[in-house]
Structure 1
């Protein structure tokens, strides 16, 4: 099975497409197996600070298995619109709106049912989309992000940090507006992305820590990242420079808005469709412990784990692909040769 990742430009396996989705332009990658035949469609939803191309190692695997693949840039990222807040409500960056946009994009590409995969924020999106649109999502999988059921009580980020999730301290900083003061042009965006994807300074300096957030003074020191470099890094920098970093950080300003909309799902906490959770054993933010008890709410759950940090998709692509492809096979999905 091919592991040649999707190139950002000029890759014949995918097309860069746009569509107007609920009033906003979305950019998405569209891949169709050779010959144009497919039985099922997989949507792949990225997280922060990532793009649709974050799935560049998984898209070829899914195409090889005979799936059509749709990977959008989320609201505020890359080629997708970045509506300003205000005048727009912050809910435009919320989980329900993202779920509704996936459903609308599925209609646009002619998919009545989809398999839905997510990572990081995209993981939160796919779990909620399975709840908001159960008629659309037949199977769901998430890399790194466990399922967290809707709650009747509201917990602010400050309360979470003081309680069960101290490693979420960075989210308070990301929502504050401080990051934009340091990450504001192509050069600082480049250093920021290199650092977030594992680049370090000459003495091991880092520019991000879950308990501190962005360490701005270290940005100039950051060297190359093994996970994001070359043409792919250049592409990410250009895509992030379209809107700046602010719109992507709006996702961290939606906690209360998401909770308010989640209240309508309190009687739909159980996700009964087949689901896969791929744990990254060295993820310091979405730690493996966070997934304890998921089976109570996701009874048809399969688990897998990879020895990776948060960037499992690109750090351990063979292992992630092996888990996802086996799960799909176990669900009865065939290979391209059977089409």
Structure 2
């Protein structure tokens, strides 16, 4: 059996003496964005940021762990300046979105299917029929499945770092996956219920450690600490505890030979876990697929926003030759 905590501690020990990089982009005051709220499917109150022209194609952004809408700050500003309509959510359990406290046998609100339904509910509230959906980390896993659960609401899928896998016909526990690929052993630690209390007791320390290589300004770390202090890590860590639920929810989905929606994976060349090799054969799952590289680690959005934004620009130019004037 792989020891998830031991593996996670080893990861931290291996990086603790590495120098913290200087901030990699301009500081964007969180208060300078347009913050809004809406009640979505399930009755949950979602917090989101909205920028740009509402009549233009909508790019909807879904963050990962331990992140927030704010992880997209450089992309929000850039894409809105290009003329697109941009929405970045705090998913359930994060930031100013509702964070229901649930028992381990009642994790359904945090399943990928239900989070996708909540995001779809936000689109319904905003009367947006179709989006280009963009995800990173856990958000990447969510946006791939969003296209499976709600194909009529998707123009295209773009994921940063996170590849997708074919729909599974047999459940595989994370412990088994970690034995085959120890890079994923940390997920055992995050799925342990005891980890919530542990991280809640050292929010700043954990966030500094997790985000230290992402090019943060001091004020940005302060914002992360403020937002995670609202509700702690119960909600965010629940995403690691829904593996069985997700498998069961996905069983009814059609097993298509080729997924029809245009898709792009932006691969971070130095991601220590979601390594480029994991997505080498991913294009076989899609009718239309592109795989592009940026020079960055896992938090590519802020480690190298210039290259990520350039990759987004290039893909959007192919997807929407008319640019922000296109109808999707």
| d(CA) in 2 for partners of 1:327, 1:177 | 40
Classify the secondary structure of the residue corresponding to 2:151: coil
The aligned runs of 1:150-165 (5 Å cut-off) are 150-163=167-180, 165=181
Q: Which segment drifts farther, 74-83 or 44-53?
A: 74-83
Aligned partner of 1:24 in structure 2 is 44
Correspondent of 1:189 among 200, 203, 214: 203
Matched with 2:29 is 7
How far apart are residue 143 of structure 1 and its match? Answer: 0.2
Q: Structure 2: how far apart are the matches of 1:119 and 1:190?
A: 22
1:1-339 equivalences under 5 Å are: 4=26, 6-9=28-31, 11=32, 14-22=33-41, 23-33=43-53, 38-86=55-103, 89-163=106-180, 165-185=181-201, 188-198=202-212, 227-268=215-256, 270-335=258-323
Cα deviation for residue 183 of structure 1 reads 2.2
- Tell me: CA distance 1:88–1:155, structure 2 relative to 1, closer, same or farther (3 Å): closer
Conserved 8 A contact 2:283-2:290 = no
Q: Deviations over 1:32-56 (max 9, x none)?
A: 24xxx63211100000000001000
The Cα shift of 1:154 comes to: 0.6
Structure holding more helix per residue: 2
CA contact (8 A) 2:135 2:160 kept: yes
For residues 27 and 104 of structure 2, the distance between their equivalents in structure 1, rounded to whole angstroms, comes to 39
Does the 8 A contact of 2:258 with 2:286 survive in 1?
yes
**In the alignment, is the contact (CA less than 8 A) between 1:151 and 1:266 conserved in 2?**
no
Aligned alpha-carbon RMSD (Å)? 2.0
Measure, in 2, the Cα distance between the counterparts of 1:253 and 1:191: 23
Contact 2:93 2:236 in 1 (8 A): yes
Aligned length: 302
Moved over 4 A (4+): 335-339
Q: Distance in 2 between matches of 1:109 and 1:334?
A: 23
- Partners in 1 of 2:141 and 2:220 — Cα distance? 25
1:149·1:269 contact (CA, 8 Å) conserved in 2?
Answer: no
User: Structure 2 vs 1, CA of residues 267 and 31 (structure 1 numbering), >3 Å: closer, same or farther?
Assistant: same
TM-score normalized with structure 1 length:
0.84
Alignment partner, residue 205 of structure 1: none
Unaligned runs of 5+ in 2: 1-24
* CA deviation string 1:116-139 (max 9, x = no partner): 000000000000001111110011
**Bigger mean CA offset, 14-23 vs 137-146:** 14-23
Deviations 1:14-46 (A, max 9, x none): 31111111111111111124xxx6321110000
1:155-199 superposed Cα distances (whole Å, 9 cap, x missing partner): 000110112x211100001111232333224xx21111110012x
